[in-house]
Amino acid sequence: MKITVDELRAMIPTNNDVETWCEELNKALPKYDIDTPKRIAGFISQCAHESRDFTATEENLNYSQASLERVFGRYFGPGKRNAAEYHRKPEKIANYVYMDEFRSKRGALGNVKEGDGWRFRGGGLKQLTGRNNYEGFAKDYGISAEEASDWVRTKEGALASALWFWSKNNLNPVADTGDVTALTKRINGGDIGLADRKARYATAIQALTGDFPPRAAITTTLRTGSRGSAVKQMQQKLGIVADGIFGPGTAKAVKAWQAKNGLTADGIMGPKSLEVLSCQP
């Protein structure tokens, strides 16, 4: 089956180049037998979560000190390295947390040469990570791992790498079950961002099967200082005091909820966060 532009727009609502992506997906997905609503929804929803609606083909490692201690707690904090020395230094961060010598599972990523952590950081729609993965992907395309690390940051390479990972891990049978949790664990190794992945999958299935018209993209942004009914509705969904005032307490609750759901914990409820929240019971 082919995806329409309107269907894809419902699945990646914040992307401004849906027409191009729709054309590329319709050319590539059938080659990997990703041709049913469940398989298409599984592939696109997982990739959309990893790449922020197909807009980020490169991992953002611009973490603050506080974020490093929260996200990479096994590497920073008391008795470990000082996160302040890595604050907002993406390359330095990657060349520490992604190097095999500092990881509990030695050899898992294959990052053993100087600079490998940064060179083979997350890239592509699936955020391929580690020399081992890049070498496997590169071999199938007759290029070097270093060349692959540049290619995955382009549209063509970003999609190719995600499809390679999907095929390599035989994910079509998993997608056929419709079990988003199982699919997430096979892709992510855990359940990071599971709520968002489930919400995206539900939207994708609805768009592809025509159960009901896709919802319009959310464009609202709520932040400290915002007031009104939209803030009140958000507070109610979060289960906190709903006074319609976005103050420090609300910002703290938003950050905690974002971190729990695999979103950027900045305390600002932008379109992406509001979309995820709206899909939760």
Q: Looking at the domain assignment, is residue 127 inside a domain?
A: no
Token pair listed for 142: 């007759």
Q: Looking at the domain assignment, is residue 69 inside a domain?
A: yes
Q: Looking at the domain assignment, is residue 139 inside a domain?
A: no
Q: Is the pLDDT of residue 216 over 60?
A: no
> How many other CB atoms are there within 10 angstroms of residue 38's CB atom?
21
For residue 55, give the 3-state DSSP assignment. coil
Q: Looking at the domain assignment, is residue 49 inside a domain?
A: yes
- Count the domains in the chain: 3
Find the helix or strand (DSSP H, E) in which 236 lies. Answer: helix 229-238
Question: What mean pLDDT do residues 25-54 have?
Answer: 95
> How many other CB atoms are there within 10 angstroms of residue 1's CB atom?
14
What pTM was estimated for this model as a whole? 0.71
Sorted by sequence, the CB contacts under 8 Å of residue 102 that are 6+ apart come out as 75, 96
Domain span at residue 254 reads: 229-278
Pairwise CA distance, residues 19 & 215, whole Å: 18
Q: Looking at the domain assignment, is residue 224 inside a domain?
A: no
> How many other CB atoms are there within 10 angstroms of residue 219's CB atom?
10
84-138 pLDDT, tens digit per residue, is 999 999 999 999 999 999 987 666 899 999 999 999 999 999 999 999 999 999 9
Sorted by sequence, the CB contacts under 8 Å of residue 203 that are 6+ apart come out as 10, 11, 45, 214, 215, 279
Cβ atoms of residues 271 and 258 within 8 Å: no
The reply to whether 177 and 194 lie within a common domain is: yes
The reply to whether 31 and 72 lie within a common domain is: no
Pairwise CA distance, residues 211 & 194, whole Å: 23
Pairwise CA distance, residues 90 & 69, whole Å: 14
The reply to whether 79 and 107 lie within a common domain is: yes
Q: DSSP character for 240?
A: S
User: Which of 65-79, 109-123, 149-163, 173-187 shows the lowest per-residue confidence on average (mean pLDDT)?
Assistant: 65-79
